[in-house]
Protein backbone atom coordinates (compact mmCIF):
# COMPACT_ATOMS: atom_id res chain seq x y z
CA UNK A 1 0.00 0.00 0.00
CA UNK A 2 1.31 3.42 -0.90
CA UNK A 3 1.21 6.10 1.77
CA UNK A 4 1.59 9.05 -0.60
CA UNK A 5 -1.13 11.54 -1.34
CA UNK A 6 -2.36 11.71 -4.95
CA UNK A 7 -2.38 14.82 -7.14
CA UNK A 8 -4.51 15.01 -10.29
CA UNK A 9 -4.23 17.79 -12.86
CA UNK A 10 -7.69 17.77 -14.49
CA UNK A 11 -7.38 19.56 -17.84
CA UNK A 12 -8.76 19.84 -21.37
CA UNK A 13 -6.84 20.17 -24.63
CA UNK A 14 -8.46 23.54 -25.50
CA UNK A 15 -7.84 25.22 -22.13
CA UNK A 16 -5.21 28.00 -22.34
CA UNK A 17 -4.51 28.21 -18.59
CA UNK A 18 -4.11 24.39 -18.55
CA UNK A 19 -1.37 24.64 -21.16
CA UNK A 20 0.31 27.45 -19.21
CA UNK A 21 0.21 25.30 -16.07
CA UNK A 22 1.90 22.46 -18.00
CA UNK A 23 4.46 24.65 -19.79
CA UNK A 24 5.39 26.99 -16.93
CA UNK A 25 4.31 25.94 -13.43
CA UNK A 26 4.88 22.18 -13.73
CA UNK A 27 8.33 22.76 -15.29
CA UNK A 28 9.51 24.72 -12.25
CA UNK A 29 12.24 22.70 -10.53
CA UNK A 30 11.03 23.57 -7.03
CA UNK A 31 7.42 22.64 -7.78
CA UNK A 32 8.42 19.44 -9.60
CA UNK A 33 10.75 18.36 -6.78
CA UNK A 34 8.11 19.05 -4.12
CA UNK A 35 5.35 17.19 -5.96
CA UNK A 36 7.54 14.24 -6.97
CA UNK A 37 8.68 13.88 -3.36
CA UNK A 38 5.22 14.14 -1.78
CA UNK A 39 2.62 12.96 -4.31
CA UNK A 40 1.74 10.34 -6.88
CA UNK A 41 1.07 12.68 -9.82
CA UNK A 42 -1.44 12.28 -12.64
CA UNK A 43 -2.65 14.43 -15.51
CA UNK A 44 -6.08 13.58 -16.86
CA UNK A 45 -7.87 14.93 -19.94
CA UNK A 46 -11.43 15.35 -18.68
CA UNK A 47 -12.92 15.02 -22.18
CA UNK A 48 -11.34 11.66 -23.05
CA UNK A 49 -11.59 8.13 -21.69
CA UNK A 50 -12.16 7.85 -17.96
CA UNK A 51 -11.90 11.63 -17.59
CA UNK A 52 -15.44 12.03 -18.94
CA UNK A 53 -16.96 9.92 -16.16
CA UNK A 54 -14.61 11.23 -13.47
CA UNK A 55 -15.53 14.85 -14.25
CA UNK A 56 -19.03 14.01 -13.00
CA UNK A 57 -17.84 11.96 -10.04
CA UNK A 58 -15.45 14.73 -8.93
CA UNK A 59 -17.72 17.66 -9.97
CA UNK A 60 -15.06 19.12 -12.26
CA UNK A 61 -16.59 21.58 -14.72
CA UNK A 62 -13.96 24.30 -15.12
CA UNK A 63 -10.31 23.97 -16.00
CA UNK A 64 -7.69 23.53 -14.89
CA UNK A 65 -8.84 21.87 -11.66
CA UNK A 66 -6.21 20.55 -9.28
CA UNK A 67 -7.40 17.64 -7.15
CA UNK A 68 -5.74 16.23 -4.06
CA UNK A 69 -6.57 12.85 -2.52
CA UNK A 70 -5.31 11.26 0.68
CA UNK A 71 -3.65 7.82 0.50
CA UNK A 72 -7.05 6.16 1.04
CA UNK A 73 -8.46 7.92 -2.04
CA UNK A 74 -10.64 10.52 -0.30
CA UNK A 75 -10.59 13.96 -1.95
CA UNK A 76 -9.16 16.41 0.56
CA UNK A 77 -8.82 19.52 -1.60
CA UNK A 78 -9.84 21.00 -4.94
CA UNK A 79 -8.41 24.15 -6.55
CA UNK A 80 -9.66 25.63 -9.80
CA UNK A 81 -7.73 27.94 -12.13
CA UNK A 82 -4.15 28.71 -13.04
CA UNK A 83 -1.58 28.89 -10.25
CA UNK A 84 2.08 29.80 -10.35
CA UNK A 85 4.92 27.78 -8.84
CA UNK A 86 4.74 29.33 -5.35
CA UNK A 87 0.94 29.02 -5.20
CA UNK A 88 1.12 25.39 -6.32
CA UNK A 89 3.61 24.48 -3.59
CA UNK A 90 1.52 26.32 -0.96
CA UNK A 91 -1.63 24.48 -2.07
CA UNK A 92 0.25 21.17 -2.04
CA UNK A 93 1.48 21.77 1.52
CA UNK A 94 -2.04 22.62 2.63
CA UNK A 95 -3.44 19.45 1.01
CA UNK A 96 -0.84 17.31 2.82
CA UNK A 97 -2.11 18.61 6.18
CA UNK A 98 -5.68 17.50 5.44
CA UNK A 99 -6.85 14.03 6.33
Chain segment 73-98, per-residue pLDDT in tens: 999 999 999 999 999 999 999 999 99
Provide the angle, in degrees to the nearest 10, between the axes of the packed helices 29-38 and 85-97.
Answer: 20
Domain count, the chain: 1
What is the domain range of residue 16?
A: 5-97
Percent of the chain with pLDDT over 70: 99
In the predicted structure, residue 6 carries a pLDDT above the cut 70: yes
Residue 7 CA to residue 36 CA, distance in Å, equals 10
- Alpha-helical segments (H) within 1-99: 16-23, 29-38, 50-57, 85-97
**Which domain CATH number covers 32?**
3.40.30.10
Amino acid sequence: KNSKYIFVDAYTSWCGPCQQLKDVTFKSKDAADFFNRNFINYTLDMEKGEGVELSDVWNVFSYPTLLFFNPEGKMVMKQTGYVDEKQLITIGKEALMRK
